[in-house]
């Protein structure tokens, strides 16, 4: 029996563990290369290897090993519920093993998913559910960095938030999808997305804020706008698409004026290990050695969207209380 702490059936859990970790890793933007008869090596992840049968992974440097759920927790910062929902969501798109390419010459070209007729679902989700400022959402939509995707598959029509990353020549290189439903944690990178680039906002200052996800980046901008003391457009912001540093390297290379790097990764205080803050400290030491002034910019709650939602909800409550008192 499945612990009723989680809203999943036994069949769904069985489906999760039948999902290939190879497929799951590729869908989430990890690049795999041939290693030996039994494993693929994950690029830019030290000694991380995934078994070709899709049943597990092993990191020779850290000694960490496990199944697909363990992988999602360790390298994507998800909890159990988020991992299951993500894996089940990805299965709805079908497996990728039939077109999985481990040779560069066979790699599929990167292609953005088609746009929907309108962006209503995405705007409603970001503004009303995630509490992100509408002006900020429209700014990114106008820059082509946010849109609503529409994909027609054998299992139905899927609408998602598409977050796009561009290179210095304004060519799209990266795209991550996120379900616009508050009931789903589905998210994935589009096939052949280049994690050397990320969803970003170019400011004029010498400060770069770095986040795990586009939602955190947008939430942080909104918090600055609500504060009103600092111009929310002046600083640079970058989403790494997880706990990776490839996009940071590229951004710093393309923006020579950056002197300060502030890491706004998740505050995983409710987990056995605080992966976000541990990685922030690791990256901070690494970029400090390269000459940058680095700081940890920790959210009060789990992430900056949690901070934003709680702040907006509290303000709304206080305003309602004031109105009630006035009407009395």
In a domain, 52, yes or no: yes
- pLDDT the model gives residue 32: 87
User: Is 201 found in the same domain as 73?
Assistant: no
- pLDDT the model gives residue 5: 59
Backbone angles phi, psi at 129, to 5 degrees: -90, -50
- Report strand pairing: 65-66 vs 236-239: unpaired
Domain end point (choices 74, 106, 138): 106
CB–CB of 123/134 below 8 Å? yes
User: Is 263 found in the same domain as 161?
Assistant: yes
d(CA 172, CA 187): 19
In a domain, 322, yes or no: no
User: Is 214 found in the same domain as 189?
Assistant: yes
User: Is 195 found in the same domain as 66?
Assistant: no
Query: What's the CATH number where 170 sits?
Result: 3.40.1360.10
**Which DSSP symbol is given to 125?**
I
d(CA 261, CA 311): 25
In a domain, 167, yes or no: yes
Record the tokens describing residue 212, joined without a space.
Answer: 């795990």
d(CA 184, CA 302): 18
In a domain, 63, yes or no: yes
Mapped onto helix, strand or coil, the DSSP state of residue 78 is coil
Query: What's the CATH number where 87 sits?
Result: 3.90.580.10
User: Is 203 found in the same domain as 75?
Assistant: no
User: Is 90 found in the same domain as 171?
Assistant: no
Closest CA to 248 of 285, 281, 210: 210
Domain end point (choices 106, 128, 163): 106
Burial of 87 (0-12, 13-18, 19+ CB in 10 A): buried
In a domain, 269, yes or no: yes
In a domain, 158, yes or no: yes
User: Is 259 found in the same domain as 131?
Assistant: yes
Record the tokens describing residue 276, joined without a space.
Answer: 């976000």
d(CA 126, CA 275): 26
User: Is 283 found in the same domain as 238?
Assistant: yes
d(CA 177, CA 148): 9
CA angle 158, 139, 165 (to 5 degrees): 60
User: Is 163 found in the same domain as 40?
Assistant: no
In a domain, 3, yes or no: no
User: Is 137 found in the same domain as 85?
Assistant: no
Run means of pLDDT, 10 residues per run, the chain, 328 residues: 63 89 85 85 85 89 86 86 80 47 61 96 97 98 98 89 96 95 84 93 97 97 91 96 91 98 90 81 96 96 96 73 46
Mapped onto helix, strand or coil, the DSSP state of residue 296 is strand
User: Is 124 found in the same domain as 94?
Assistant: no
Number of structural domains the chain divides into = 2
Q: Domain range spanning residue 48?
A: 10-106
Record the tokens describing residue 252, joined without a space.
Answer: 């710093």
- pLDDT the model gives residue 328: 44
In a domain, 112, yes or no: no
CA angle 91, 92, 97 (to 5 degrees): 45
150-193 confidence digits (pLDDT tens): 998 888 899 999 999 999 999 999 999 999 998 887 888 888 89
Instruction: Count CB-CB contacts under 10 A for residue 99.
Output: 11
User: Is 300 found in the same domain as 212?
Assistant: yes
């Amino acid at each position: 029996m499945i612990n009723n702490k989680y809203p999943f059936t036994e069949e769904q859990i069985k489906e999760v563990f039948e999902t290939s970790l190879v497929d799951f890793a590729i869908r989430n933007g990890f690049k795999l290369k041939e290693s030996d008869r039994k494993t693929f090596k994950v690029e830019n992840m030290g000694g991380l290897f995934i078994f070709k049968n899709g049943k597990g992974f092993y990191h020779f440097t850290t000694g960490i090993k496990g199944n697909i759920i363990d992988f999602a927790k360790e390298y994507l910062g998800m909890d159990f519920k988020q991992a299951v929902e993500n894996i089940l969501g990805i299965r709805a798109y079908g497996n990728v093993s039939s077109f999985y390419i481990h040779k560069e010459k066979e790699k599929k070209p990167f292609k953005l998913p088609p746009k929907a007729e309108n962006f209503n679902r995405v705007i409603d989700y970001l503004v009303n559910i995630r509490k992100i400022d509408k002006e900020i959402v429209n700014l990114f939509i106008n820059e082509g960095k946010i849109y609503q995707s529409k994909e027609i598959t054998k299992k139905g029509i899927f609408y998602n938030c598409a977050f796009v990353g561009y290179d210095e020549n304004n060519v799209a290189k990266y795209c991550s999808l996120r379900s616009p439903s508050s009931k789903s944690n589905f998210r994935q990178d589009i096939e052949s997305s280049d994690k050397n680039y990320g969803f970003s906002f170019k400011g004029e200052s010498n400060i770069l804020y770095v986040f795990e996800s586009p939602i955190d980046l947008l939430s942080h901008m909104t918090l600055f706008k609500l504060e009103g003391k600092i111009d929310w457009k002046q600083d640079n912001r970058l989403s790494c698409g997880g706990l990776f540093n490839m996009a940071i390297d590229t951004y710093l290379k393309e923006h020579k004026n950056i002197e300060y790097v502030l890491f706004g990764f998740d505050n995983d205080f409710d987990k056995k290990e605080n992966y976000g803050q541990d990685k922030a400290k690791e990256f901070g030491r690494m970029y400090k050695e390269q000459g940058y002034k680095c700081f940890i910019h920790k959210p009060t709650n789990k992430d900056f969207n949690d901070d934003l939602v709680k702040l907006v909800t509290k303000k709304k409550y206080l305003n309602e209380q004031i109105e009630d008192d006035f009407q009395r």
